[in-house]
Structure 1
Amino acid sequence: MNRRRIAVLISGRGSNMVSLIEAAQKTEFPGEIALVLSNRPDAGGLERAKASGIEALAIDHKAYSTRESFEQAIDEALRSRDIDFVCLAGFMRVLTSWFVERWEGRMINIHPSLLPLFRGTHTHKRALEEGVLVHGCTVHFVVPELDAGPIVAQAVVPVIPGDTEDSLAKRVLAQEHLLYPQALRMICDGRASLDRGRVLFTKGWNAEGALRSPS
């Protein structure tokens, strides 16, 4: 099996990165985590990557005078390591159109809401303020517009009476850790791909059931 070479970009502790690493350690997974890269040298996820035997690289954005020069350094690092695919996992930098277009169709992100609802930040707070009964997370291809790329996969959690931002975030994060590896597997083995601005799935699913909240 020809395993895809994957880079994970992080800015912090990298909990989603860990879920991707654990999934890719299984021999049947169609991709390998070849690099973990952070814009912060003190990111906790770098040490966690090293402990798993994965190259960990810091490219400090503060060392560059422009966003473009910073992203050029990242692009060079990725290409010099023959990276096939990029996963953003808590990478807290807004990427320029130049970088996004360089990696078009080869870069995904996970966002803590059911897109297109609640793009941007403070998603759990906004979900509670709006009174929605379901919330969740989304894996999507990255496009220049923030959190607007074609959707690969979503997971839904109920919003229950008495929820706080923290309790809701914890429930969503648990699903992120399951969803992101699943979505990456689908892309690496060809079951999901970007086709003219939409995600093309090669395998269907049973859509007879329904998710309900309250159940």
Structure 2
Amino acid sequence: MGVHKTRLAVFCSGTGSNFKVLHRAIAEKYIDAEFVLCISNRKVCGAMEYARENGIPAMQFSENQYPDYESFVAAMLAALEEFRIEYIVLAGYMRKIPDTIVRAYRERIVNIHPALLPKFGGEGMYGINVHTAVLAAGEKESGATVHMVDEEYDRGRVVLQQKVPVLPGDTPESLAHRVLACEHELYPRAFRKLLIEQHPR
């Protein structure tokens, strides 16, 4: 019998750059886990393509595929159970996680947010909107936050944060670029920390 690796599902909607960073960290044995499922609300996206290229099953779940919301949630939960998922990793997933799934995976769903929570979080605060708001508020620093997911947007327990400066002349795009580089450093460190804390050996 091989050593058990923590089984992960990644939820993505776009290119999945943070997914790729975490996948590489696993390949380099920095994180003791394995991605066994990729879920997206989109039929085609960069993250889904990357998953398939790396032998990770990829599935689309969209509400319009099902007669009602309850059926949609039940199907997604069934897939997570079928693949024996232990943790859900969000990497640019542009949908709210259904409360039923949050309850089933309490303290086992992790997200990265492109700001220093609790500032600049909540509904509508994603992507370029966050960086626009940070600059409009005159903040001197921003960064990224890895946090657990609960029933409210961006309110779950903080695992780890990392700061970046806001520079004179920054645009939302230039700040976004700096924060994304920060995310790519932070997510593997934070997820490794989380697994070690929750599964000490």
Q: Do the structures match in fold with TM over 0.5?
A: yes
Structure 2 length normalisation: TM-score?
Answer: 0.90
The alpha-carbon deviation at position 192 of structure 1 amounts to: 5.3
Structure 1 spans left out of the alignment, 5+ residues? 194-201, 203-215
Counterpart check, 1:191 vs 2:197: yes
SS of the aligned residue for 1:191 comes to: helix
The alpha-carbon deviation at position 28 of structure 1 amounts to: 5.0
Aligned length: 193
- The answer for the alignment partner of 2:95 in structure 1 is 93
Change (3 A) 1:178 1:28: closer
- The answer for the alignment partner of 2:153 in structure 1 is 146
- The answer for the alignment partner of 1:157 in structure 2 is 164
The answer on whether the counterparts of 1:31 and 1:185 sit within 8 Å (CA) in structure 2 is no
CA RMSD of aligned residues (A): 1.6
Distance 1:150 1:81 in 2: 26
Change (3 A) 1:25 1:144: same
Given residue 68 of structure 2, which amino acid in structure 1 is its aligned partner? T
Q: Which structure has more helix as a fraction of its residues?
A: 2
Report 1:59-208 matches (<5 A).
Answer: 59-120=61-122, 121=125, 122-188=129-195, 190-191=196-197
Given residue 51 of structure 1, which amino acid in structure 2 is its aligned partner? E
Distance 1:191 1:79 in 2: 24
Q: Deviations over 1:1-39 (max 9, x none)?
A: 431001100111111111111111123521111111111
Distance 2:29 2:153 in 1: 34
Report 1:13-92 matches (<5 A).
Answer: 13-92=15-94
Structure 2 spans left out of the alignment, 5+ residues? none
Change (3 A) 1:67 1:179: farther
Q: Which moved more, 1:51-60 or 1:116-125?
A: 51-60
Report the identity percentage.
41
Runs of 4+ in structure 1 off by over 4 angstroms are none
Structure 1 length normalisation: TM-score?
Answer: 0.85
Change (3 A) 1:108 1:74: same
Q: Deviations over 1:86-116 (max 9, x none)?
A: 0011111112322211110111111111000
Distance 2:141 2:68 in 1: 40
Change (3 A) 1:107 1:74: same
SS of the aligned residue for 2:34 comes to: strand
Distance 1:192 1:179 in 2: 18
Given residue 9 of structure 2, which amino acid in structure 1 is its aligned partner? A
